[in-house]
Structure 1
């Protein structure tokens, strides 16, 4: 899918996305960020003899799909077919290290899931001033990173 169907509009990612460029909350901290990445699980139909690795943590058969999304809610990379037990980090590492996969651009330009940090997205939306540089980063990261959930949400509801 990522090579044949899903292609970024600007494959060189030469410009700062307008969603970042035109928002003082994100500029200049995220000026080089081109996409958000994350995975999602979707139900799968698997032959009985191959089902065990596809049984996800909720006990149903799933595939883990990794995707990169631009900030205007467009897929720029999708890799489907991973078993439900595959961890997002494993899929991502294979994608960036296997030249056949043709994962676009460099690792430093993507927002990855930001674990172990409490996000204050409602405060960010209301424009409450952050208390320091780390809070600026945490709030903006949470807000920008939500694009992946919105993009998957649009796709899953079709």
Structure 2
């Protein structure tokens, strides 16, 4: 009886101390490693890897990435784009700053890795990018070298 009670108590304490919220990979991976393992981002990671940007997203950072989901990429016709155009498009989703959700609320614009600006507007619960191209509603995914925000569209610079 004492052994049974000890086992139940041990299992209860062990599971109560588990702070994994199940939202994705552990935080001990960089952005590139996290993207590779994160649900619904395999298409984006494949493009990033094909375009030689995986090493960039493994660098020390800080980096913020607004990464299109697989569904968003599937809706885009990238087949007619050159490798240079795809790389420029992907670089538009990368910022060389650590921008938390709260930082984004206080930020009007930032320069992306391709040199074009991303524009933000916010209310108390959401951040909008480029005048309603997409809306961010969560804290993103932390990695050792920055933050990843999943977006439901491929971002393009406003004209």
Greater C-alpha radius of gyration: 2
Q: Same fold (TM over 0.5)?
A: no
Scaled by the length of structure 2, what TM-score is found?
Answer: 0.28
